[in-house]
Structure 1
Amino acid sequence: MQLEISLTTFYSIGDERRFFQGLKDIEAIKEIRGVGRGLIIKIEMKALNKEMLRELIALLWRYGISLAPLKVFASNNKKFTWLDDERCYWYKSMFETEAR
């Protein structure tokens, strides 16, 4: 699966490095490619589990990046139906048009 996300502003080189290291630490992410002010992230769906997806959500949330591209996981995969829980911190950013 391929996701496209829009990047935010990084406040230092170290800040940017930590973000990309966080992506690289998620084993299911197989490729990261920059496109303009965004990223194309290739994810191996068979390898992606709940913990890895939670790490990706937390990383994007921490950097103020919209979670809307991740809603595809809730609609296309039964193992991630837990994403569609209105009580969770990510819900509005992922499912509503008005992001945080």
Structure 2
Amino acid sequence: MAVEATGVLYQSEFDETVFFEWFDKIAAVQSLGGEYRTVEIFLRAEAIDEDVLNEFVALYRRYHIDPAELQIFATHRLGSWFSSPDRFWHREIFDRPPPAEDRRNGELFSGDYPWSVAPTVGVHTKEWPLDLHVAHTPDHATLEATGVRFYSTLDEGAFFDWLDKNPQVKSYQGRQQTLYINVDINGGEKWDLWELAALYARYNIDMKELRVLNTGTFGPWFSDPEQWWHKAVFG
């Protein structure tokens, strides 16, 4: 069984990396292939269960991939469960035409398919202890990420994997629904700041929290009006 994802747009190197690592962690995924702008995901049909289907919904929703690509799961033995009107994704996936035959050659981008599911539906958030002391490191910036909504277990894992890959992120800890991220704004490379902007954009976190990155070594570069994140952060 094969599923396709066409025209995925990655906002950074880590964004692309965690996308493919997500597939690696889905037990039913056997291999990946590709042609032009299309990623082909080959699955072992017998290994597909409800958790696998939930992960595909979460992944395609997170990366704004055409929901119609998932219509193929209606032909699986769990098709009646997956295509049930009771599923929150039913209208998003099935109330639209099948993917166009020429989609591989079109100039499609992930932003062309933002899912219209309400942001509070099919999500979970993390809750940390109230009495946790948040330590602040001198000459570092502390970013806040409050109420981050995750679409699945692997979606949450991808978020923290992304943080762990960034050499400027020295530590993070949570209190209630806020994650405090300790960033060495005078170390690493300027592209590490790009990764933080891409992470906040991908996970729909308030970009204005990134304004504190303007105080470090790469502040002038980060606050340049030509950067794609400038309006969301400083506007």
TM-aligned CA distance change 1:35 to 1:49, over 3 Å: same
Match of 1:96 in 2: 95
Do the aligned residues in 1 keep the contact of 2:5 with 2:39 (CA within 8 Å)? yes
- For these two proteins, the number of residue pairs brought into alignment is 99
Q: Report the Cα distance in structure 2 between the residues aligned to 1:92 and 1:23, rounded to whole angstroms.
A: 24
Post-superposition CA distance 1:12-42 (Å, at most 9, x none)? 0000101111111101110111211111110
**Aligned CA-pair RMSD:** 1.8
C-alpha separation in 2, matches of 1:66 and 1:31: 21
1:1-100 correspondence to structure 2 within 5 Å: 1-74=1-74, 76-86=75-85, 88-97=87-96, 100=115
| Displacement after TM superposition at 1:87 (Å) | 5.0
C-alpha distance in 1, partners of 2:70/2:2? 10
Structure 1 unaligned segments of length 5 or more: list them.
none
Q: Which runs of 5+ in 2 are unaligned?
A: 98-112, 116-235
Taking only the aligned residue pairs, the percentage that are identical comes to: 27
Q: Distance in 2 between matches of 1:41 and 1:77?
A: 15
Task: Assess if the C-alpha contact under 8 Å between 1:68 and 1:94 holds in 2.
Answer: yes
Task: Say if 1:7 and 1:37, in contact at 8 Å, map to a contact too.
Answer: yes
| Contact 2:31-2:41 within 8 A present in 1 as well | yes
What do the CA deviations read for 1:46-78 (whole angstroms, capped 9, x no partner)? 01111011111101110000121221212x234
For residue 7 of structure 1, what is the amino acid of its counterpart?
Answer: G
Secondary structure of 2:22 counterpart: helix
Report if aligned partners of 1:61, 1:90 keep a CA contact under 8 Å in 2: no
**Matched letter for residue 94 of structure 1:** I
CA distance in 2: counterparts of 1:88 and 1:53, whole angstroms: 11
| d(CA) in 1 for partners of 2:77, 2:2 | 18
* Distance in 1, Cα, partners of 2:89 & 2:68: 9
Structure 1 range deviating more: 10-19 or 81-90: 81-90
The alpha-carbon distance between structure 1 residues 18 and 96, as it changes in their structure 2 partners (threshold 3 A), is: same
In 1: Cα distance, 2:40 partner to 2:32 partner: 6
Distance 2:91 2:33 in 1: 27
In the alignment, the residues of structure 2 paired with residue 93 and residue 36 of structure 1 have an alpha-carbon distance, to the nearest angstrom, of 26
